[in-house]
Amino acid sequence: MVKQIECPEFLEELLAARSPSGFEHEAHEVLDAYMKDVADDYQKDTMGNRISVLNPKGSPTLMLAGHMDELGFIINYIDDKGFLYFKTIGGHDLSIISGRRVTILTAKGDLKGVTGKRAVHLMS
């Protein structure tokens, strides 16, 4: 039997944060909420990086680094029938985009959708 490991609340919230490149504010908010109170030093820079230091005089020094951004889409056109057209943000594998559930972040809240494409016989 496989041992079940409970996922820390912090990790669950960080993984659920939507953070397409250039729009990482949800991931920033999660890190800010959890790290500023536990780190010996916590800083933010103008590029959005978060730097947490634990035991600054300790030895050896260990750095853990990662990206807060993820792949996303940006809507660039809406046709008369309400279909949304988008461009990719980040390095997508274009062959797997069709048929994916998406959440569109709008000023009025989230909008659920699904991606699609024209049938092959209708494309030039």
Q: What does the pLDDT look like over 24-45, one tens digit per residue?
A: 999 999 999 999 888 999 999 9
Mean of per-residue pLDDT scores for the chain:
89
Residue 116 tokens read as 């699609």
Beta strands in 29-118, from DSSP E residues, in sequence order:
41-44, 50-53, 72-78, 84-89, 101-106, 109-114
CA distance 124 to 120: 8
Residue 79: its pLDDT value, please?
A: 95
3-class DSSP state of 116? coil
pTM over 0.85: no
- Confidence category of residue 115, pLDDT binned at 50, 70, 90: very high
Strand partners, 42: 52
Q: What does the pLDDT look like over 16-28, one tens digit per residue?
A: 999 998 889 999 9
Q: What is the mean pLDDT of residues 100-117?
A: 91
